[in-house]
Structure 1
Amino acid sequence: MIAVPSSQVRSHFKEICDKVVNDVESVIITRTRGENVVLMSEDEYNNMMENFRIFSNPDIYNKIKSGIDQIENSKFSKRDLLDE
């Protein structure tokens, strides 16, 4: 994550937006009175919100964790999909 003064963001908005999207880089936009803001790509935002949703729901989190544990301990079986 990089920090950029708001004045620089105003004069280089397109370039900074391109960096955020292309380099998967979040940018802290610093302001003279504090109250900084963060600029991130929509994909990164959606990913973050999905992670919040998963981690805030113990049932979903435990199912995912259980599946990961089963794979790591080779306690799974491979099955073919049924054709409908």
Structure 2
Amino acid sequence: MRTTQIRQQLHDYIDSAEDKKLKAIYTLLEDDISEGYQFSEDQKKELDRRYDDYMNGIGKTHTWEETVAMARQALADRKIHK
């Protein structure tokens, strides 16, 4: 089963589950839910470096249209090399 299917089934189940079952699911996942995602120190340093580069006019940025065009080109290149 694909992740998207699992996610949809879980959403559907949670939307209609009894309170007792919801509390049990939450208890199982409580630590993961409350912690959320945390960046590592290396990731934070890299984000800070990129932000500083951007603020100093060094970092390269792209418009949404440029980003979409680059993604489409990367997909096209990938299909060619298969």
Which of the five TM-score ranges fits, normalised by the shorter chain?
Answer: 0.3 to 0.5
Normalised TM-score (structure 2): 0.33
Higher relative contact order (CA 8 A, sep 6+): 1
Normalised TM-score (structure 1): 0.32
Tell me which protein shows more strand as a share of its residues.
Answer: 1
Tell me which protein shows more helix as a share of its residues.
Answer: 2
